[in-house]
Structure 1
Amino acid sequence: MKLKRFGAPLAILAAAAISLTACASNEGGSTAATTSKAPSNLSGTLNGIGSSAQGTAQTTWIAGFQTDNPKVTINYDPQGSGAGRTSFISGASDFAGSDAYLKDAELAMDFKGCAAGTKGIDLPVYISPIAVAYNVAGLTDLKLDADTIAGIFNGSIKTWNDPKIAALNSGATLPSAPITVVHRSDDSGTTQNFTDYLAQNAPTVWTKPASQTFPYQVGDAAKGTSGVADATKNAKNSITYIDESGSAGLSIAQLKVGDTFNKISAAGAADVVAKSPLATGRPANDLAIKIDRKNTDKGAWPLVLVSYIIACQQYSDAAKASLVKAYVDYVASDAAQQAAAQQAGSAPLSKDLASKVSTSVATIK
């Protein structure tokens, strides 16, 4: 069972495990990822802002972490990746959730909550396939390739029975209705990953570079994962791109990868990430991943996002550093990753990547 998205801040207050479980249940049935160790003496408050794609996973992680650390309060507000990075850089939050790693221009800024002269580092904690989800009565098993997706979302393919869609869906009943495109209105890491996939795989159709804001004037816009999900559910003959965890109630297109059409798969997304290199030219202990969007291995899903917790390499407040280190190290643990997989449909970090995250987290001061 998957948790609902929500726009209000997450504020799971320090309380007994029963209270935490009840709070998670009210949000849609989250099961805390707990361990058997005795509660710690860590105390304090952490505030995070960012990725709405991480929302369900953050709910699950916070509940599990606070079961073991009942004196800690963690708040997470899923305003979107761009808002998360901006808030973190300005010092308005202690960490950010982001579906895109820090850009060079952002790394050149002054990080107000970090020790003087130090920067934020990107720590991958959440892997999820991006779904091309649609709401068309009677249409199942839709098949799309990168060029056709690009044509739909740039507005050049305008109706569902367009010859380019029909050619990929022999025997399907395609309505003559106009396509309603739904895209993100906010600065979104999901948009960054979606447009990066199209820029690399359909460059003659998608002529814009990868961007965290949707680059074409087409269709309807909505904020956040829940916003585009609701807009697509409420509009007949509509289509959107969305983190798979938010796609419940919508149909999901198959994606042409190489010569085959693949169904969406967290395992296929995880395999693509595992085979992708780290980005070069990054700060020490930064684990930004350069996703291989052209992976055509069997079952691969290269339309994938890697979402990060962005933390200071060194905090100006040592107490915050201790809390962040403990929380992110927990998030990267197998227990927390498996819990997020159960609730959000995400792919657990590989052992190798989880180990790299843990090693980087240990350097936070």
Structure 2
Amino acid sequence: MTMRRRAFIPVLAASSLAFSLAACGGDEADEVIGTGASFPDAYYQAAIAEFNDDHDFDVTYDAVGSGTGKSDFGEGLNDFAGTDSLVGDGDGPEDGSYQYIPTVAAPITIPFNLEGVEELNLGQETLAKIFQGDITSWSHDEIAAANEGVELPETDITIAHRSDGSGTTGNFTRFLDEATESWTLGAGDTAEWPSNAVGGDKNTGVAQVVQDTDGAIGYVDYADATELGLTTANVENKDGNFVAPTLEGTTAGLDGAEVNDDLSFNPLNAAGEDAYPITAPTYLLLHTDQDGDKADQVKEFVTWLLTDGQQYAEENGYAALPDGLAEQALTAVEDTLG
């Protein structure tokens, strides 16, 4: 599959961003501003570029991370937020102030940098033990058992993780928490990683740590991992198969997920022979009290994103929503914004 490189949309300088965010609560600003998750950024930037070319107002999206996006949302500093994780206590938004709108889904890949090793199988329990620091060498017997015939060096493992509050971290740790018995670090947008782990800002920062460090392993969204040419592991799924991160495996995971009344859903470790187990959804948060011209603009953009805009998902490394879920999301947009 040939992936489109993400469209370039300039990131505002801090002073101009603050000015724009301050203005976004009023109808006078002919711009819709979103902030939040970096996980779906490649898709949002490509889709927004197409939208802005053919509409009479502009949309911008600043990938500051799910945690900051939710905080901005709670303070009224954006017109919508992007998040890969659900709203929790202290995130910013209050109950009743938001509506989840799913947009796309994608694998969370497990990139590694190990000289001489191009393919690697990792079991779920093994993955948990690596990321909480119980397995510290690539030559460990548990890794070797799943990689017969692979010459594994006695290189120390370096864990690369997100340094910012992140929905990617939330989904990855939730997977480990739900799928394994070994994981003890809980699930959330941040985690108490081992003291020798190395943090990176956003998915690109984690990718950079992996690229620069022999023996490193991390977790990175599919779009960035593919664009940067990272080598990624095959991960054991619920059926016991080692599966590479692909959009086909993501779709298989989506097919087995149950959608909740609030349109949140959990495709992590879904059953299916070909399902990739670390499949993550991503959402927009919409303000339930938005009205006037701004509400009309947000509605127009999000409705487009769920219809015409879905065609830009696959070429940028994401799985489009199943038709039924897209219809539910469109109904929720109409109910929320009128």
Shift of 1:259: 2.5
**Aligned partner (choices 266, 285, 310) of residue 337 of structure 1:** 310
Any residues of structure 2 matched to 1:183-198 within 5 Å, and which?
Answer: 183-198=161-176
- Alignment partner, residue 264 of structure 2: 288
Output the CA distance in 1 between the equivalents of 2:108 and 2:85: 13
- Alignment partner, residue 17 of structure 2: none
Shift of 1:318: 1.5
Structure 2 SS opposite 1:84: helix
Residue 58 (structure 1) aligned with residue 44 (structure 2): yes
Structure 2 SS opposite 1:252: coil
Output the CA distance in 1 between the equivalents of 2:315 and 2:164: 28
- Alignment partner, residue 119 of structure 1: 97
Output the CA distance in 1 between the equivalents of 2:65 and 2:8: 12
**Aligned partner (choices 312, 321, 325) of residue 349 of structure 1:** 321
Aligned length in residues: 316
Residue 268 (structure 1) aligned with residue 235 (structure 2): no
- Alignment partner, residue 92 of structure 1: 77
| RMSD of aligned Cα (Å) | 2.1
Any residues of structure 2 matched to 1:1-365 within 5 Å, and which?
Answer: 1-3=3-5, 9=11, 44-69=30-55, 71-103=56-88, 106=91, 109=94, 118-203=96-181, 205-217=182-194, 218-247=196-225, 248-257=228-237, 258-279=239-260, 286-289=262-265, 291-315=266-290, 317-333=291-307, 335-343=308-316, 345-365=317-337
Is 1:100–1:193's contact at 8 Å kept on the other side of the alignment?
yes
Q: Give the letter aligned to residue 332 of structure 2.
A: S
Is 1:183–1:214's contact at 8 Å kept on the other side of the alignment?
no
Q: Percent identity?
A: 31
Is 1:341–1:348's contact at 8 Å kept on the other side of the alignment?
yes
TM-superposition CA deviations, 1:283-305 (whole Å, max 9, x none)? xxx3111x143423121012011
Alignment TM-score, normalising by the size of structure 2: 0.88
TM-superposition CA deviations, 1:155-207 (whole Å, max 9, x none)? 1110111111011101101110101110001100000100011011112x101
TM-superposition CA deviations, 1:230-289 (whole Å, max 9, x none)? 111111111101111111321110111223211212122223223212236xxxxx3111
Shift of 1:314: 2.8
Q: Give the letter aligned to residue 277 of structure 1.
A: E
Shift of 1:8: 6.3
Q: Give the letter aligned to residue 315 of structure 2.
A: Q
Q: Give the letter aligned to residue 160 of structure 1.
A: W
Structure 2: 5+ residue stretches without partners? 14-28
**Residues 9/209 of structure 1: CA separation in 2 closer, same or farther (3 Å cut):** same
**Residues 210/7 of structure 1: CA separation in 2 closer, same or farther (3 Å cut):** farther
Is 1:61–1:331's contact at 8 Å kept on the other side of the alignment?
yes
Q: Give the letter aligned to residue 313 of structure 2.
A: A
**Residues 180/5 of structure 1: CA separation in 2 closer, same or farther (3 Å cut):** farther
TM-superposition CA deviations, 1:100-123 (whole Å, max 9, x none)? 12236658738xxxxxxx511110
Output the CA distance in 2 between the equivalents of 1:5 and 1:186: 24
- Alignment partner, residue 15 of structure 1: none
Structure 2 SS opposite 1:270: helix
Output the CA distance in 2 between the equivalents of 1:318 and 1:129: 37
Structure 2 SS opposite 1:134: coil
Shift of 1:133: 0.6
Output the CA distance in 2 between the equivalents of 1:174 and 1:198: 24
- Alignment partner, residue 36 of structure 1: none
- Alignment partner, residue 283 of structure 1: none
TM-superposition CA deviations, 1:14-49 (whole Å, max 9, x none)? xxxxxxxxxxxxxxxxxxxxxxxxxxxxx9211111
Alignment TM-score, normalising by the size of structure 1: 0.82
Structure 2 SS opposite 1:128: strand
